[in-house]
Amino acid sequence: MRDPVKRRALLLAAAAGLTAPQVARAQATLNLRYANASNAQNISNVFAERMMKLVEERSGGRIRTQFLYNLGSEQTIVEGVSLGTIDMAISGYTGMPEFDALYFPFLLRDLRHGVRVMAGPIGERCRQAMQQRYNIRLVGVTNTGPFLLSTKTKIGSWADVRGRKIRVPPFAAYVEAIRAMGAAPTPVPFNEVYLALQQGVVDGLVTNLNVMIVNKFFEVSTNVASNEFGVGLDKFIISQRSYQRMTPEQRRIFDDTWAEVQPASVDYAIENAAKDFDAWRARNGADSVYALDLGELERILAPSARQFFEATFGPGSFDVVQRA
């Protein structure tokens, strides 16, 4: 072998019990593609960039990430991770009842409660289901802030939603929740939401507050109830094939970095929500953000939340979540 550097590396590897192909893989740079349906200002993407920069530094530059934004629907992105055309994503959508059920208002108390639930048997069932359906590894859950109800005209009570057309994300829990409130759940593709609100196709929407801000939905749906309307657990996912392409040391770096930064991502989402509310008030006036009677909403939705969740996870599962 003419290359003395490579020869030395192979001799050292042989002493450690490694083969030449294993050395080549360890020395190669792993280029990963991360995708998201929103733009770079979305706080999930801010978090992803910070995490993967740490991974790059800690891997000595052996793991690098290309960030692809505004890349169609979340469904398309998840399917891309499953097929391997995309390596990683943070997505609300999964198309799976196990994850959809977790969005129902009055199931989870807040984001930290949701993280505890995902660390238990409910979360393990979700992980196994995702692996089986998509061959995707669920790294963990994070958040871009609270899901809220926004309307084009101000409402005085939850009963005022009755009869209105509300754009819902592609999660069955929100379809059922809006229907239980007497409104018409109306699916609209994400890239058409702004125009649908502007043209009056829908009277309001349910989505994440930060998503409303960074996509300027507040321009065409000017009022928002500040009560948390379900806890959005965004899923940080990686193709199982992409994860297996990492060396054992690279996987350790990736997993350890996630474990380190995930609590900070939760804190960041909570803190950022206050800034987003301030941005909304600055655009539409102080009275455009208001709290409604939480007890009224609970009376409307709590029975449906239990029924919907236990239809997926079985009798008693609602109480398991409440005790977490």
pLDDT level of residue 173 (50, 70, 90 thresholds): very high
Distances, alpha carbon 45 to alpha carbons 38, 70, 92, 155, in Å:
8, 11, 13, 32
Same domain, 139 and 106: yes
Same domain, 54 and 97: yes
What percent of the chain is modeled with pLDDT above 90? 72
Residue 136 lies in a domain: yes
Ramachandran assignment for 146, one of left (phi > 0), alpha (psi -120 to 50 degrees), beta (any other): beta
Query: Where is average pLDDT lowest: 173-182, 229-238, 246-255?
Result: 229-238
Same domain, 67 and 140: yes
Same domain, 139 and 77: yes
Q: What tokens were used for 285? A: 């006036």
In the sheet that holds 136-142, the strands lie side by side as 63-68, 30-35, 88-91, 234-239, 136-142
Residue 175 lies in a domain: yes
Residue 1 lies in a domain: no
pLDDT score recorded for residue 281: 97
Same domain, 32 and 173: no
Same domain, 297 and 222: yes
Residue 4 lies in a domain: no
Same domain, 158 and 300: yes
pTM of the model: 0.81
Same domain, 116 and 249: yes
How many CA within 13 A on the CB side of residue 17? Answer: 0
Residue 309 to residue 315: CA distance in whole angstroms? 9
Residue 9 lies in a domain: no
Distances, alpha carbon 188 to alpha carbons 155, 162, 166, in Å:
22, 19, 10
Is-contact 85 31, C-beta < 8 A?
no
Rounded to 10 deg, the angle between the 121-134 and 74-83 helix axes is 70
Closest to 87 measured CA to CA, from 50, 49, 38, 33: 33
Same domain, 109 and 200: no
Q: What is the mean pLDDT of the segment spanning 158-185?
A: 95
pLDDT score recorded for residue 184: 98
Ramachandran assignment for 76, one of left (phi > 0), alpha (psi -120 to 50 degrees), beta (any other): alpha
Same domain, 202 and 61: no
Give me the sign of the Cα torsion angle 293, 294, 297, 298: negative
Instruction: Give one DSSP letter per residue of 152-164, joined into a string.
Output: SS--SSGGGGTT-
Residue 11 lies in a domain: no
pLDDT score recorded for residue 50: 92
Same domain, 172 and 76: no
Residue 175: what are its φ and ψ, rounded to 5°?
Answer: -60, -45
Residue-averaged pLDDT of the chain: 89
pLDDT level of residue 168 (50, 70, 90 thresholds): very high
Q: What is the mean pLDDT of the segment spanning 38-58?
A: 91
Domain containing 181 — which CATH number?
3.40.190.170
pLDDT score recorded for residue 27: 56
Distance between first and last Cα of the chain: 60
Residue 289 to residue 137: CA distance in whole angstroms? 38
Q: What is the mean pLDDT of the segment spanning 298-303?
A: 92
- Report whether pLDDT(154) > 70: yes
Same domain, 249 and 305: no
pLDDT score recorded for residue 142: 85
Domain limits at 303? Answer: 150-228+283-323
User: If you search the block for the tokens 């994860």, which residue do you land on?
Assistant: 243
Residue 216: what are its φ and ψ, rounded to 5°?
Answer: 60, 30
Q: What is the mean pLDDT of the segment spanning 122-127?
A: 96
- Alpha carbon 250 to its chain's center: 24
pLDDT score recorded for residue 130: 96
pLDDT, tens digit (0-9, with 9 covering 90-100), for 260-272: 988 887 788 778 8
Number of domains the chain contains: 2
Is-contact 93 171, C-beta < 8 A?
yes
Residue 175 to residue 101: CA distance in whole angstroms? 11
Closest to 138 measured CA to CA, from 102, 187, 178, 165: 102
Residue 278 lies in a domain: no
Residue 304 lies in a domain: yes
138 DSSP β-pair partners: 237
